[in-house]
Amino acid sequence: MNLNKIIGISLTALLVLTQTACLKDKVGNSDSKGGTNNVVEFQNSSIPVSYTSVYPEYANSLLWNPDTSGFNINLNWTGTQYTAPEDIKITIAIDTAALSAFNADQSTNDTLPPADAYSFPTTVTIPKGSNGATIYCHVTLSSDWNYNASYALPLTITSSSYGTISSNFGTAIYSVSGRNKYDGSYSLRERQTGWATYGINDGSTYNWPNNIGFVTAGANSNTTSDKNEGSLLPAFTSSGGSTGFGATTPLFTFDPSSNALLSVTNTTPNDGRDRTLYLNPAITDSRYDPSTGTIYAAFIMTQTGRPLQYFYDTLVYKGSR
């Protein structure tokens, strides 16, 4: 074999390896390992959560409207012809064994949603002359929906009337989380009093510089988060900067009918400081205003051996988080 042929073979092998390594790096996918050039598969509905998982996972964070939502499931054809040479009838099903394998592979604890919370067509046709089809998974806020659970739908292509089922993308995991109407990213304007003994500006008003995440914790409850500070309840320094309480995570609970704020409590385990939160009884209009997307919250924090600290918060909705 001469040198030119060796170089040509090496370059071809390198190209094949490069294409295989990038298999999951795009929103589109194509299975080069299906054993045939005529392959049916799940098409990416978003960038996969992980490039190393045993099956691709697509995260779906649902906003109820008012109690229904859903997401797309994409099916794809890839073959020697760019489009399907005939109508291709595909059957899909829940695959609990795949979910168990995924959990073991990723050290997760995903479970199926309640049976009455989701529905999707189990058959789909990729029309002749097309290279894909989309079905919709309907999700309903069922009475037994658990906001603290990690739900996922493991789907597998069980049959195809033409072509071969993909070995890479014949199974996919669709994780599902629900968000209540208060969930989102907020700006925070906060006034605090009762801090003089801490050397903190007492009674000052501060615009919290980072987006505050209002994170669904239940049907009508939310916790707050600030990924930049790592603290859930900010405070002001005497120089006008900010500090925070690592042992204080407010949980806000609303009345779903009136949107009145029913309670504010501390969900962080006690670290010896015995911090508690409760609504300020002197302020009676703590609430969520759906017309402006604004939350008004007046609450008090107690600590053993410390004076009461008062918080007057205005959170203005900026968008989904």
* Per-residue model confidence as pLDDT tens for the chain (321 residues): 444 444 444 444 433 334 333 333 345 565 544 445 799 999 998 888 988 899 999 999 898 878 899 999 999 999 888 899 999 999 999 999 999 999 999 999 999 999 999 999 999 999 999 999 999 999 998 989 999 899 999 999 999 999 999 999 999 999 999 999 899 989 888 887 876 665 556 677 777 766 788 889 988 999 887 655 555 566 666 555 666 666 678 899 999 999 999 999 988 766 666 789 999 999 999 999 999 999 999 999 888 778 888 999 999 999 888
| pLDDT at residue number 196 | 65
Backbone angles phi, psi at 222, to 5 degrees: -145, 145
Both 192 and 289 in one domain: the answer is yes
Both 125 and 163 in one domain: the answer is yes
**Domain containing 155: what range?**
23-179
CA–CA dist 1, 125 (Å, integer): 49
CA–CA dist 16, 296 (Å, integer): 59
Quick one: 157 exposed, middle or buried, by C-beta within 10 A (0-12, 13-18, 19+)?
buried
| pLDDT at residue number 206 | 75
Domain end (from 179, 194, 228): 179
Q: Domain with 108 in it: what CATH number?
A: 2.60.40.1740
Any bridge partners for residue 24, and if so which? none
Both 241 and 315 in one domain: the answer is yes
User: Is 46 inside a domain boundary?
Assistant: yes
107-110: long-range contacts (C-beta < 8 A, 24 or more apart)? 108/150, 109/150, 110/150, 110/151, 110/152, 110/173, 110/175
Both 43 and 104 in one domain: the answer is yes
Q: Domain with 191 in it: what CATH number?
A: 2.40.128
CA–CA dist 266, 249 (Å, integer): 5
Both 29 and 119 in one domain: the answer is yes
User: Is 27 inside a domain boundary?
Assistant: yes
* Secondary structure of residue 36 in the 3-state scheme: coil
Residues 6+ apart with CB under 8 A from 6: none
- pTM here? 0.73
Q: Are strands 68-78 and 184-193 parallel, antiparallel or unpaired?
A: unpaired
Number of domains present in the structure of the chain: 2
| pLDDT at residue number 29 | 64
| pLDDT at residue number 275 | 84
CA–CA dist 208, 212 (Å, integer): 8
Both 242 and 293 in one domain: the answer is yes
Residues 6+ apart with CB under 8 A from 204: 191, 192, 236, 240
User: Is 16 inside a domain boundary?
Assistant: no
Domain end (from 159, 179, 199): 179
Both 132 and 193 in one domain: the answer is no
Q: What is the DSSP letter of 291?
A: T
- The strand order across the sheet containing 151-160 reads 57-63, 171-179, 151-160, 88-94, 123-126
Both 289 and 229 in one domain: the answer is yes
User: Is 12 inside a domain boundary?
Assistant: no
User: Is 5 inside a domain boundary?
Assistant: no
Both 108 and 143 in one domain: the answer is yes
CA–CA dist 183, 223 (Å, integer): 9
Both 68 and 174 in one domain: the answer is yes
Q: What's the Cα-to-Cα distance from 151 to each of 34, 103, 137, 181, rounded to whole Å?
A: 29, 12, 14, 19
Domain end (from 179, 206, 237): 179
Both 36 and 173 in one domain: the answer is yes
| pLDDT at residue number 239 | 57
Both 292 and 306 in one domain: the answer is yes
**CB of 147 within 8 A of CB of 217?**
yes
Q: What's the Cα-to-Cα distance from 158 to each of 91, 104, 105, 124, 281, rounded to whole Å?
A: 6, 22, 22, 12, 60
- Please name the residue that has the structure tokens 């003089």: 196
